[in-house]
Chains A and B, each alone.
Chain A
Amino acid sequence: MSDEKKPKKGGFLQVVKDIVYGMSSHEMTRHAVRSRASMEHLFILITMGDLLGVPILPPYYSLRLLPYVTPQISAWKRRMLRERDITDTLG
């Protein structure tokens, strides 16, 4: 892409800051994001489960929610249907 912005390269201090963030806080951030995603995915499953073949009769309110949920549907389906195993809990 021609208009793609090149990532801004920071100086030495920025590198150190990134590394320290990665060591200290990145994991916490990931866990927070995961917790939020789990709740959101559960909500979508309850309301839109029929998209995955879960036998839920879509209520009227699901239809009203649809425009808000649509942007997340592809990521949600991928996440719900992705094969997992116990080693996933390590990451």
Chain B
Amino acid sequence: MNALIAVIIGAVTVYLAYAHYARRIDRNVIQSDPKRATPATLYMDGVDFMPTNRNILFGYHFKSIAAAGPIVGAIVAATLWGWLPALVWLVLGVSFMGWASDYSAIVLSVRNEGNSLSAVAHRLVSPRTRTVLFLFIFFYLLLIAGAFVGIMAQVMDGQPKTPLGIILLVAMGLLLGQMLYRWKMGLLGATVITVGITFLGILLGPLPAIEGTFKGFNESLNTMTGGAPIVTYFDPTLAGFKGAEAKIMPSLLFWAIAICLFCYAGSVLPIWRMAQPVVYVGFWITAMAMVLGLLGAAVGTFVKPEVAQFQIPAFKGWNPQLGPAGIMPLWPMLFVTIACGAISGWHALFGSVGTARQIENEADMLPVGAGSMFTEFLLGLLALLAVSVGAKGAPVGAFANGLGGFISVWGVPVQYAVSLAFAAFIVIVLVVTQLIFRVMRVTLTEWLGEVIPPCRNQHVASFISVALAILLVLTGTWIYLWQLFGAANQLMAALSLLLVTVWLASVGKDWLYAGLPMIFMYLTTVASILVTAYNLYFNVYQPNLVAGRVIPVVGSGLMVLVAILLVVAALFVAVDGWRAFVRYLRRPAPAPGPAPARG
């Protein structure tokens, strides 16, 4: 197997699923009508509701949904089960479920006056569903934040070639905000300066003097405790997933706190000052890495065959053991480990509030919603290729080595290409994490502000969010966090498909294309949450309780609690959803009146 064959499989998948399945559903079931007015045209306020060109909207939606999910998920899955199950799930997931979830969430919102999923749930299902959905979203964000901060801290600590580029990225983001909004400089000039300096910083990272400086800095931090770890825990991902004793050293804690401080600043500062400019500079870095990598993967087979050959086994087993007491059955765990490249709840959530309100024409819903999902599938495929050809190192390291190999096809020395790949990975994750902390801050303020007035203060709300994420990171077991996040994410997708199914039933349309994936994802994700809770309890909670280690016990206990709450929330929504579904099947809601004409 080599990268070219996988790229061809990906291209054929996209063509078949889009042209022969998605278009058919759009034409026959949804019956999108270019003459029907959309919320963007009906309620145009120039702000939230704004008709936007489909190409711009495609770029906007794709960039907003493509985060670390398709990358980290594919890396972990290929490492656990081999590349074949990961590839099969990516292909089948996106073809029958992923595009349906993304596209349908946009359709649901467009056909319901641009309302968010929670508002539609309130109207179609029950008020309780909306409350449960909010609770669910908060835990979901908390899990993403914890998982992402943990992963980034490990890369920044373990790869001393990476921090310079990231520090410069943040500095250049701040400078860009100043240039654009205070000094009123032109976008092109400001972009060239800030992206150029960041890129230079990334390339300088592997120089021995720079790498040695950060290595020395980490070591000096570690001498503060005399080389003793802050937390010791059992990490089942070490030693080829057989598990080994792992230590959280002061340097790792330092980088985790540094990342959280960055996210805290991104959360409380005006959005133009930091969050947006950093995202903008980061976009160009990741775009460069991804475009060079994807093209390199395609031509590498001919130009540099050694970088395009798969090196990890196709299949590693149905139930690889995770540590001494953990289980990792392919079903359900594979289906939550790879989330975003196959199907993701985040896309539905974002599509309903961000993209749907800018859809100019119903005919744009398919290319924007489904088209973006298929493009993200290609990103997941690239991550899978990278980890499959670059077998050296831990999962993230293997990804960076693989992607670096693809980029090196263009004549870039491998060490610089790998540095760029590491930086691109961090940038993708960082950008999403700071957005998540901002949303968590708003959520906490809205929820607790009435009951606990100090929570109305943005610093207090941000601090609580950051502290919770740090606590999860200190358990050290990011693999559980990732899988719990994956399960929450997929459950979100199932909830979105549930709403779509209920809506389709309510308007008397064929609901099977959304209902069948919903049932599969519902059962799979609830089962996976229970498996993760089991693993957490027997691999982390119990041994650390016996050993008397407080932090891992508190952290894993918190995660088990979150897992139980997720299952309870899912059951509530399922019961309410079922009742509403049966109600509408028996007595469909009156069909909406004739569509208001455009123009």
Contacts and interface: CB of A to CB of B under 8 A. Distances in A.
Nearest to B346: A90
B111 interface: no
Contacts of B350: 90-91
Contacts of B355: 91
A86 B52 CA distance: 24
B353 A18 contact: no
B542 interface: no
A27 B276 contact: yes
A57 interface: no
Interface string B532-547: 0000000000000000
Secondary structure of the A contact surface, majority rule = helix
Nearest to A16: B55
A79 B446 contact: no
Interface string A72-84: 0001001100010
B443 to A, nearest CB: 5
Given A18-B59, A27-B279, A86 B47 contact: no
B63 interface: yes
B373 to A, nearest CB: 15
A78 B357 CA distance: 14
Contacts, number: 113
B369 to A, nearest CB: 14
Contacts of A30: 47, 50
Given A28-B276, A86-B439, A78 B45 contact: yes
A33 interface: yes
A70 interface: no
B6 interface: no
A85 B447 CA distance: 11
Interface string A1-34: 1001001000000110011111111111011111
A19 B118 contact: no
Nearest to A21: B56
B262 interface: no
Interface in A14-70: 14-15, 18-28, 30-35, 37
A31 B279 CA distance: 13
Nearest to B138: A86
Interface residues on A, range: 20 to 34
A4 to B, nearest CB: 6
Interface stretch (B70-78, B280-288, B575-583): B280-288
B552 interface: no
A25 B45 contact: no
B134 A21 contact: no
A86 B442 contact: yes
Nearest to B276: A28
Contacts of A85: 116, 118-119, 130, 134
B354 interface: yes
A25 B355 CA distance: 15
Contacts of B443: 86, 89
A75 B355 CA distance: 19
B48 A23 contact: no
Identify which of B60, B284, B439 gathers the most chain A CB atoms within 10 Å of its CB: B60
B279 A22 contact: no
A23 B62 contact: yes
A89 B442 contact: yes
Contact of B55 (A19, A33, A37, A75): A19
A30 B50 CA distance: 10
Contacts of A31: 271-272, 276
A86 B60 contact: no
B59 A87 contact: no
Nearest to A4: B599
A61 B287 CA distance: 52
Given A4-B599, A23-B63, A87-B353, 8 more contacts: A25-B187, A25-B280, A26-B52, A30-B50, A79-B48, A87-B116, A88-B116, A89-B439
Interface of B: 43-48, 50, 52-53, 55-64, 115-119, 130, 134, 137, 187, 271-272, 276, 279-280, 283-284, 287, 349-350, 352-355, 357, 438-439, 442-443, 446, 599
5 contacts: A21-B56, A30-B50, A83-B119, A86-B443, A89-B439
Identify the 10 closest CB pairs spanning chains A and B, nearest first. A22-B59, A91-B354, A18-B55, A91-B353, A22-B56, A23-B59, A19-B59, A75-B45, A23-B63, A22-B60
